[in-house]
Amino acid sequence: MVLHYKDQHYKSIKARCQRDGRLFEDSAFPASDQSLFYSRNPPPGVVWKRPQELVQSPHLFAEGGISPRDLQQGSLGNCWFVAAASCLAGDESVWKKVIPSPHEQDWPTSASHTHAGVFRFRLWRFGQWVELVIDDRLPTVGGELLFCRPERKGGAFWCALLEKAYAKLNGSYEALDGGSTAEALIDFTGGISEPIKLLEENLGSDVEKKKKLFKALIKAYSRSSLISASIRPYPGQSEEEVLSSGLVTGHAYSVTSVRSITLRSGLLSLFQTHKLRLIRLRNPWGSGEWTGAWSDGSEEWKRVSHSQRKKMGVTVSDDGEFWMSWDDFCTHFTDLTLCRRVNTSFLSTHKTWTQESAMSAWNQDPSPLKDRSGGCPNYKETYLHNPQFSFDVTLDQDCALISLEQEDRRTQRSSGQGGNLPIGFFVFKVEVNRKYRLHRTPCRVSSSTYINSRSVFLRTELQKGRYVILPTTYSPGQTGSFLLRVYTDKASQLRELTQDVPKPSWLSCCLGTPRLVTSVTVHAASGLSVLGKNQDPAVHVTIHCEGKKVTSRTVRGRNPEFDLKGVFYRKREQRPIVVQVWQSNCLRDTLLGSVSVPCTAGEIDQTSVLKIQGKEGRSAGYIMIETSTSSDLTML
């Protein structure tokens, strides 16, 4: 489903303009100073012109189609956007979604068709695709485009028009002054952004780690991830300072290729070979390149055959695009951003993920869930007031990709409120049957960093079980909407926990209402007695309470680690909880032993090593159980 921004529909606008014989003028984003800047005056002599007033035969794409070399950054500090647009142009499956039906939109080549001056673009924003309609009036000074422009005169205008659509979505061109390539890549793809801080990865002293990252980069590039890189300025360095290497600090470069090539040398060249890892980048300025090894025209290229250089697209010109070795890249660059388009198509031969998503908000509504904006764990009294989401890992082990994205505040920059909230999240392993909100902090298994970015990302390996995600702002009382997305191998049943305790039913007057809540964790068993000759049994454990049961994953060995958690809302204090250990068989499971665990109010956080009673009174080993019981139903 596509949302039409400002309820403007491209086809109806185009048909109306062609019928009336006029060019479209967009009143929702007028050709005026208010569309340019909100905090400063535009430069003198700004004139809004259409491309046909600038060149004789304008085109959306240059001859030969769309290319990462089509664009140059203008006078706006939006290299992050231009770098992302360069990545966009390198992948047909991406740009065709952002620029729908380009041939239909292009300037007509015959007099039989009239140009309506209207264009459309689609951007992914906060969980849905948004279609924006713009006119083709662009700001110029002295007959030259003020902002993003074609690399050569008479070239492609797609990027200048896309930039205008992006400015419209964000309120003005000035709203694009400073930003994150990761944000733009998400808007172009609907994917999830994974930041990699190269300095913190300590790649200089860990050769294997460096090889592993390059392998992951090749894999991501081959699966159409969009990639950008930048150099964080050191203390004392200015933004966009040109270094002696030709690279620019605080500058967003687009990664346009990742290659591993084989080099041969010496008389025994058939036998003496080594792999060379190369990466190609593009400067959004359209000029200014790396001057070290493997730069344009460097001596190193003589070791690569002419045919291979041609295949790799090696050019010797100051076009802003250059190659460098992976080692040099890791030495000079500080940050990588991978925008992954997570594959959810079951018809694909590549790794397929299942996606679950949920929309929610941090707010200060006092009911029914307190203030729902409790801040990070530093604020112990309010932390668990935040929205809570549970999801399930159904495999014995699964990789989960988790993305938290807040609503874009760039449109609020004109009022001085356009900064992102510092956000992050924690992942807890909870009881496998938990349906209600947490009121005590359980065991943390993973967490993201807290950062004032539009989105934060986490990749984590998880064991089978149920988990709770707590997305939070860093400080309490901060409000805003957010989108939470979870990708796993199997469906995870992501859902928001909205109830604190079980609701009383109409049978409560007859059967009673829960008075106690007990949390039970079975950690491990040891010395299991096994029937028959199998000395390495497949076993699982169950917990029973007042007709309810939870079951662990099946594990092997005489000393298995179960880590099974269950929570029970109990009506009868005197009835014990029963823990049973079973040997898993194809036809019928065999009970190895069981133990009754008394759990009365006041027995808080009690850990016991209990003997399991097997058949005919024989010992079946020992099991470690942790219990916690409270008469306050909101405590666990």
What is the dihedral angle through the alpha carbons of 30, 34, 37, 42, rounded to the nearest 10 degrees?
A: 90
Q: Please spell the DSSP secondary structure of 164-194, one letter per residue.
A: HHHHHHHTSSGGGSS--HHHHHHHHHS-EEE
Strand, coil or helix: what is 414?
helix
Q: Is 79 a catalytic residue?
A: yes
- The Cα–Cα gap between 177 and 174 comes to 5
Q: Which of 87, 115, 148, 283 is catalytic?
A: 283
- Report which residue type is found at 460: T
Q: Any catalytic annotation for residue 376?
A: no
Helix 79-89, helix 158-170: angle, nearest 10: 130
**Residue 215, H or E segment:** helix 207-222
Residue 498 CA, distance from chain mean position: 25
The identity of residue 156, as a single letter, is: A
- From 17, 79, 159, 330, the catalytic residue: 79
Burial environment of residue 560 by CB neighbours within 10 A (0 to 12, 13 to 18, 19 or more): buried
Tell the burial category of 370 from Cβ atoms under 10 Å away from its Cβ (0-12, 13-18, 19+): middle
The catalytically annotated residue of 115, 251, 385, 540 is: 251
Cα-to-chain-centroid distance, residue 38: 31
Q: Does 251 qualify as catalytic in the annotation? A: yes
Angle, helices 181-189 vs 79-89, to 10°: value is 40
Return d(Cα 16, Cα 11) in angstroms, integer. Answer: 9
Residue 484: in which H helix or E strand, if any?
A: strand 480-488
DSSP track, 320-331 = SEEEEEHHHHHH
Close Cβ partners of 482 (under 8 Å, ≥ 6 residues apart): 359, 360, 361, 362, 404, 405, 406, 407, 423, 471
| Residue positions annotated with a catalytic role | 79, 251, 283
